[in-house]
Amino acid sequence: MSNDDINGKSTATVSTDMTLGEQMRARGVSRRSFLKYCAAMASMMALSPSMVPRIAAALEKARKPSVIWLSFQECTGCTESLTRSHTPTVEGLIFDSISLDYHHTLQAASGFGAEEAREEAMKAHYGKYLLVVDGSIPMKDDGVYSTIAGITNLAMLKEAAAGAAAIVSVGTCAAYGGLPMANPNPTGAVAVSDIIKDKPIINVPGCPPIPVVITGVLAHFLTFGLPELDDLGRPTAFYGQNIHDRCYRRPFYERGQFAETFDDEGAKKGWCLYKLGCKGPVTYNACATTKWNQGTSFPIESGHGCIGCSEPKFWDQGGFYRALSEGKLGTVEGLAAAAGIGAAIGIGSALLGRSGQAGPQAEIKAKLDKDLEAQK
């Protein structure tokens, strides 16, 4: 193992002086391998194949950034997902592209050694490291509900964020609060963006996010810097498309052919799952094209509707098996009307607290939020 292993003190000597191109040549990686790697990256980052030369040129000059990964109120599902990435593999990413200096599940060091590695990396790369967070942050009772080495998640996040170049919130918990924030939110869980206001934050939601989307966002940051984000802080390259629009079962929807139960003729024939609660129409993610398990399949292809896990508050939207049309808003018409009302009084952008372009999507969400409040 190289000195870039995420292992205690050895990481303090991270070789950030060589560019990726130089490092790959030094390791005997052929030009063809490098170009193949770039082509796979382009496909994974949902970029046009014509971008391969630009990716190659950018990666050639890139330097390994120090990455500090903090896990807060989470289930480790996001890390499990990360380790399933096949393009690039997490090993490939750690050894070739980034210097993962702290990740309490993956690192070999433990106890004081581990915390020392985090402090040293923060000091050595102050202002330059990439901070990755998975899990939400409990705020109730001074944040005592989740601590690492006796430090509350809140204190650790604030300290680590101060020296970060940018923050990547991996998973719906870090991005939007996730399951810990679900009603009645006993620990007062919030998202990273609710606490940190002065750093660029990239949200990579999903429960968990698609493996190659996690590594793809890191690769994108490495190659081109901050990616273009939508109004919910998600990279448009991966979250720019609607599940329903990209779903191979969409033709059944158009023809009005729906599965009514999970074992009827329609279900067996692979018809549209809209009536069984599929949230595809209001969900933005790459599942329908990138798919899961090395491109094998995705939930809808396996016969289950989308639960909308990359959207804020997906857990409190009235049930995974209730059709969108009979959701909290009653009917599709009701949903459309709600969107109209939201737009009229500008509730969307106000509630979301984000600048500019709150689209219809955001307004529907705002209305859902308001409904939730009213129910309390």
Partner 1 sequence: MTHAQTALSGIPVFTEAAPTGNVSPLLHEIGHALTRLAATGEPTVIDLRGIPMAPGEEDRIVGFLGRGEIEARLDALGPSEIVETAYPGVWLVTHFNEADEVMAKFVEVATVPTLLATPEDDLHDSALRLSEALDRALSNEQGN
| Residues near partner 1 (CB under 8 A) | 29-33, 35-37, 39-40, 42-44, 46, 48-50, 52, 86-87, 89, 246-252, 255, 268-271, 288-290, 293-297, 301, 303
**Considering the complex, what minimum distance in angstroms separates the CB of residue 283 from partner 1?**
15
The DSSP bridge pattern shows strands 151-152 and 147-148 to be antiparallel
Contacts of 175 (CB under 8 A, 6+ apart): 169, 191, 192, 193, 203, 204, 205, 232, 233, 234, 312
Kindly tell me the sign of the dihedral angle through the C-alpha atoms of 47, 50, 55, 56. Answer: positive
Which CA distances in Å does 180 have to 81, 156, 235, 352? Answer: 19, 18, 24, 19
**Considering the complex, what minimum distance in angstroms separates the CB of residue 86 from partner 1?**
5
**Considering the complex, what minimum distance in angstroms separates the CB of residue 269 from partner 1?**
4
**Considering the complex, what minimum distance in angstroms separates the CB of residue 248 from partner 1?**
4
Nearest residue (CB) to partner 1, 49 versus 356: 49
Nearest residue (CB) to partner 1, 244 versus 365: 244
Token reading at 320: 């995974």
Nearest residue (CB) to partner 1, 107 versus 215: 215
Nearest residue (CB) to partner 1, 110 versus 261: 261
DSSP state of 283: -
Nearest residue (CB) to partner 1, 50 versus 355: 50
**Considering the complex, what minimum distance in angstroms separates the CB of residue 220 from partner 1?**
16
Nearest residue (CB) to partner 1, 2 versus 13: 2
Contacts of 42 (CB under 8 A, 6+ apart): 48, 49, 51, 52, 55
Q: Can you tell me whether residue 186 is helix, strand or coil?
A: coil
CB 231 within 8 A of CB 352: yes
**Considering the complex, what minimum distance in angstroms separates the CB of residue 288 from partner 1?**
6
Nearest residue (CB) to partner 1, 26 versus 151: 26
**What is the rounded CA–CA span in Å between residue 22 and residue 325?**
56
Q: 133-142: b or e for each residue (b if 16 or more CB lie within 10 Å)?
A: bbbbbbbeee
**Considering the complex, what minimum distance in angstroms separates the CB of residue 255 from partner 1?**
8
